[in-house]
Structure 1
Amino acid sequence: MTTHRAGSVVFANVKKQFGTFTAIHDLTLDIEPGTLVTLLGPSGCGKTTTLRMLAGLEHPSSGRILIGGKDVTMLPANERDVSMVFQSYALFPHMSVLENVAYGLESSKMRKNEARERAEEGLKQVGLAGYGQRLPAELSGGQQQRVAVARALVLEPQVLLLDEPLSNLDARLRRRVRTEIRELQQRLGFTAVYVTHDQEEALAVSDRIIVMQDGVVAQQGSPRELYEAPASSFIADFIGEANVVPCEVLRSDGGQAIIRVGRLEHSVPGRSARPGPAKLAVRPNAITLEAAEAGAFPGSIRHAAYLGDHVEYEVETEAGTLFVVDPAVDRNLAPATNVSIGFHHRGIAIINN
């Protein structure tokens, strides 16, 4: 399998309607060759419709889609130079693993011997050399997933599309297979568009994440950018859990802002923060709990749950209930314990909407 055919993807003012319902509103995206970009969002946000339009399984109501600089807006799926890995894997149960991987090549009129050689190489690339004669039912879920990836990659598409590819695997296997997919993408350098509703999965595999909400792009950026600088309450809560509390921006200088929450003043990154009322996104592990002190930001433990390597707390405050993840497992703050709340310098961000 070669790597030089990685293609770019462009959505230019794409709109998709189903009757009177608008699923995608004026979508404009650029995906660079050789990157793995994830479409992330809750059910019904438009991510799967976007992927299906890229695959040629749906056509836009207006706008243009380009792959590798070529306008493919109205081309059928088999003329788009993309391959898709489905949620269900869609392996033929009566065919061997090798026959499954070679199927698309043989369907394109490639000689059988050459198709089998390419399929063997494809299995080797995904770590399944020697598994060619087995049936899909004889493989684990993770191995079946890799067969589906190999079958797509041997066609050497400009873009590989992955639709919720790990949703049928258990949690531990999902972690392993997502690592394998990411390592394979980086090693071979293909362009991948990956759809998931799982934010942890998106953070783990992506060069760039495009978060969708109600058919529009809510925010896009690197995993770190979205996690550390969410643009809205929706992003803050969707990309990792966050407490969103009201605050007041007192002043902003040199990329830092001084904010007040209750009676607590704190410095946070805030290059574009404007003085006045705002909201603060605070990650659960960015909150500190200490013995109650007069004049600080007070709270009271409502619920505590010991989870081995950390303790989860719900803390009642004047700004609402905060969810806290505390690594200090050697102490036990019982319900009704009064505490003083502080913030770390990482894991907090000002959001202005």
Structure 2
Amino acid sequence: MNTAMNKGSVRFEAVEKRFGAVVAIRSLSLEIEPGTLVTLLGPSGCGKTTTLRMLAGLEQPTAGRILIGGKDVTALPANERDVSMVFQSYALFPHMTIAENVAYGLRSGGMSKRQAQERAEEGLVQVGLKGYGARLPSELSGGQQQRVAVARALVLEPQVLLLDEPLSNLDTRLRRHVRTEIRELQQRLGFTAVYVTHDQEEALAVSDRIIVMKDGEIAQAGSPRDLYEMPASSFIADFIGEANVVPCEVVRAGDGRLKARLGGLTHEIRAGTAREGAAKLAIRPNAMFLGDRHPDFLDGRVTSAAYLGDHIEYEVETAFGRLFIVDPAIERVRPVSSDVGIGLHQRGVALIPA
């Protein structure tokens, strides 16, 4: 198995997909650099899986072009696109050994049994499953089966590896472990990967770049940090992580900074472009802290408090609506119906463009 994997670029040029009268994808244009892991993220029905299936050749676009490694593959069938797909269900053959599963695509492509076996064993080493080749899928854990599915895709040395909700069948702790393994493997081998998920935390953890989709279009694209710290809309602010979106007044703006007023509270934040006047702030739950009422704080009243071990989750009623607050100060629980003041930390507050 070639450790210097193929690195194909991906380009969508004004791609549209219709199912009858329903427009699933609207004039989608995007580019994925070779050797990067890009995640298509969004709620159910946003078009991310349809986009992946068009890239794989499992769906044909109604309009536009798809290029892989600079080659127009729009009209090519799936088996001629030089991509491999890791499915949500793993799709392992239960009656075949692990090595036979990994070698299946190679044998189907005409490779000799011996050579395919050697490549399969190399593939299992790459994903940390050396010595597992003689076992059956039923003898492996869910995380190990997932790695087998990745190995089976990688031994084909595709230009692009496609992963469709690859962790959805795993429990929470195993998801975290396997997503780290996938990311480390991608960085070590340097292949291009397109990853589909609806899980925001998963996308933040594995991606070089995230493309957030909504209603068949790109809502925002950028690095995980850009999307989290500089959301372009209320939808992005609430979808990437969680945010309290509240109205504010920008009282001073310039030199990439602004000062916003929220009740009696004023806060200075970084902002690329902003004008004075009415605006909205996206405030992360952990960007707020509770104290006693004070003229420089936002007044509130606790409506719920839940102790979760290393933090307390509060809901606090304010003049701007109910705010969700995550407070690590577990030594003092603010009781329900108590009056509090809300302050802001420096990070975790962003201006949402008008």
Query: Which bin holds the TM-score, normalised by the shorter protein?
Result: over 0.9
Which residue pairs with 1:113 in the alignment? 114
Contact 1:44 1:214 in 2 (8 A): yes
Q: Distance in 1 between matches of 2:60 and 2:247?
A: 43
Q: Distance in 1 between matches of 2:14 and 2:252?
A: 39
Contact 2:257 2:269 in 1 (8 A): yes
Within-5 A mapping of 1:187-202: 187-202=188-203
Which residue pairs with 2:217 in the alignment? 216
Which residue pairs with 2:331 in the alignment? 330
Which residue pairs with 1:55 in the alignment? 56
Secondary structure of residue in 2 paired with 1:75 = coil
The alignment of Structure 1 onto Structure 2 pairs a total of residues equal to: 353
Q: Distance in 1 between matches of 2:294 and 2:343?
A: 11
Secondary structure of residue in 2 paired with 1:251 = strand
Code of the aligned partner of 1:155? L
Q: Distance in 2 between matches of 1:296 and 1:309?
A: 25
Give the CA deviation at 1:266: 1.1
Which residue pairs with 1:273 in the alignment? 274
Give the CA deviation at 1:263: 2.0
Q: Structure 1 residues 266 and 120 mapped into 2: Cα distance closer, same or farther (>3 Å)?
A: same
Secondary structure of residue in 1 paired with 2:273 = coil
**Unaligned stretches of 5+ residues in structure 1:** none
Q: Distance in 2 between matches of 1:4 and 1:122?
A: 12
Code of the aligned partner of 1:285? N
Q: Distance in 2 between matches of 1:219 and 1:15?
A: 18
Which residue pairs with 2:254 in the alignment? 253
Q: Distance in 2 between matches of 1:325 and 1:149?
A: 37
* TM-score, length of structure 1 as denominator length: 0.99
Give the CA deviation at 1:4: 4.2
Secondary structure of residue in 1 paired with 2:104 = helix
Structure 1 moving runs of 4+ over 3 Å: none
Which residue pairs with 2:102 in the alignment? 101
Q: Deviations over 1:38-70 (max 9, x none)?
A: 000000000000000000000110000000000
Q: Distance in 1 between matches of 2:126 and 2:37?
A: 18
Give the CA deviation at 1:262: 1.3
**Unaligned stretches of 5+ residues in structure 2:** none
Which residue pairs with 2:173 in the alignment? 172
Contact 2:269 2:346 in 1 (8 A): yes
Secondary structure of residue in 1 paired with 2:14 = strand
Secondary structure of residue in 2 paired with 1:299 = strand
Q: Aligned-pair RMSD on alpha carbons?
A: 0.8
Contact 2:201 2:241 in 1 (8 A): yes
Which residue pairs with 1:288 in the alignment? 289
Give the CA deviation at 1:270: 1.7
Q: Distance in 2 between matches of 1:190 and 1:266?
A: 43
Code of the aligned partner of 1:201? E
Q: Distance in 2 between matches of 1:111 and 1:296?
A: 72
Code of the aligned partner of 1:269? R
* 183-192 or 250-259, which deviates more: 250-259
Secondary structure of residue in 2 paired with 1:151 = helix
Which residue pairs with 2:349 in the alignment? 348
Which residue pairs with 2:19 in the alignment? 18
Code of the aligned partner of 1:78? N
User: Identity of aligned pairs, percent?
Assistant: 72
Give the CA deviation at 1:294: 3.8
Q: Distance in 2 between matches of 1:195 and 1:21?
A: 22
Contact 1:41 1:197 in 2 (8 A): yes
**2:228 counterpart of 1:238:** no
Which residue pairs with 2:304 in the alignment? 303
Which residue pairs with 1:38 in the alignment? 39
Secondary structure of residue in 1 paired with 2:186 = helix
Q: Distance in 2 between matches of 1:283 and 1:52?
A: 34
Secondary structure of residue in 1 paired with 2:6 = coil
